[in-house]
Amino acid sequence: MKLYEENNLVILEDVENFDARAIFTCGQAFRWYEEKDGSFTTVHLGRVLNVLNEKDRVVFKGTNLEEFKEIWVDYFDLNTNYKEIRKTLSGNEILVNAMEYGKGIRILNQNHFEMLISFIISANNMIPRIKKSIEVISMRYGKFICEDENRKYYSFPTVEELSNATVEDLREFAKVGFRDKRIFDTVNMILNDKIDLNSFESLETDVLREELLKFSGVGNKVADCIMLFSYKRGEVFPVDVWIKRVMEKLFIKQETPVKKIAKEADRIFGKYAGYAQQYLFYYGREEKIGK
């Protein structure tokens, strides 16, 4: 991996596993925009970044080398060796297909609070609507960052900022539906109990899950997503309807309850189950496996 700055752009070369489309559309992130030139623009920690895949390199616009190393290397999980992970997982023939299909996927390390709220919204919901709700929430309660020819950008609100939202506002403007009270209760629980989501980083995975399950709107699937996309728990295997279908169709070969699917995944994929989940999700949804 080679990283350097040139003409106000940060360039990444010699990275074999980086496909912006796969990264942003594999279901882990909601704050990205696909641009006309095929690049993707994303917002993270109050910063706006444009990412363009070229033939043999990735071009980042809107940052500099120093900030890139400080913020974006961790965000894009660039210190993780995906080739090695894929090699470890390659004992499974079915998974090899999916991995080849989505070999440019990387698991982003996103903000804890943003993931908590985003995945509460994701419950029984669809990606376009989830994105819209998060956009409205950022616009109304976050801070204005900047503006370009395409749109205005706002940061995802802090806990304090989002505590300005009433249940009614969340429903009326953000269109979160019955998740309005869950968001409101979760925000107020963090505030009232003075919960520090950063302090969760050091918890063991099972303890972390227990803590996350205490929030309103957080069940097993949502907790697993938060752990995988924000707490670097590569061993967890979130089971949604898509993954359920993929696992039933390709691996277990019969209808199986969600709880047993997670167990099976742990048995088959081990400590890299979360990475396997991302490859399978992307593959399964693109190819409509089981539908």
Decide: is 256 part of the binding site for DNA (CB under 7 A): no
Decide: is 281 part of the binding site for DNA (CB under 7 A): yes
Residue with tokens 């309807």: 241
Decide: is 257 part of the binding site for DNA (CB under 7 A): yes
Decide: is 157 part of the binding site for DNA (CB under 7 A): no
Restricted to residues 198-217, the positions that interact with DNA (CB under 7 A) are: 215-217
DSSP 8-state assignment for residue 181: H
Question: What whole-number distance in Å separates Cα of residue 139 and Cα of residue 174?
Answer: 10
> CB of residue 7 vs DNA: minimum separation in angstroms?
34
Q: What character string, x for contact with DNA (CB under 7 A) and - otherwise, covers 26-65?
A: xx--------------------------------------
Residue 194 phi/psi, 5-degree rounding, is 50, 50
- Our CB check for DNA shows the closer of 142 and 217 to be 217
Decide: is 194 part of the binding site for DNA (CB under 7 A): no
- Our CB check for DNA shows the closer of 103 and 171 to be 171
Restricted to residues 85-124, the positions that interact with DNA (CB under 7 A) are: 122-124
Q: Which of 218, 236, 268, 273 binds DNA (CB under 7 A)?
A: 218
Bridge partners (DSSP) listed for residue 32: 42
Question: Which H/E stretch holds residue 11?
Answer: strand 9-13
Q: Which of 171, 232, 249, 263 binds DNA (CB under 7 A)?
A: 171
Question: Residue type at 143?
Answer: K
Residues in the chain: 291
- Our CB check for DNA shows the closer of 223 and 268 to be 223
Candidates 61-69, 92-100, 200-208, 221-229: pick the segment binding DNA (CB under 7 A): 221-229
Decide: is 126 part of the binding site for DNA (CB under 7 A): yes
Ramachandran region, residue 79 (left: φ > 0; alpha: ψ -120 to 50; beta: rest): alpha
C-alpha angle 26/27/33, rounded to 5°?
A: 85
Which residues lie below 8 Å from residue 264, measured CB to CB, with a gap of 6+? Answer: 247, 251, 252, 256
Question: What whole-number distance in Å separates Cα of residue 18 and Cα of residue 12?
Answer: 10
Decide: is 241 part of the binding site for DNA (CB under 7 A): yes
Judge contact between 182 and 219, C-beta under 8 A: no
Given the rule CB under 7 A, which residues bind DNA? 26-27, 122-130, 171-172, 175-179, 182, 215-223, 240-243, 257, 281, 285
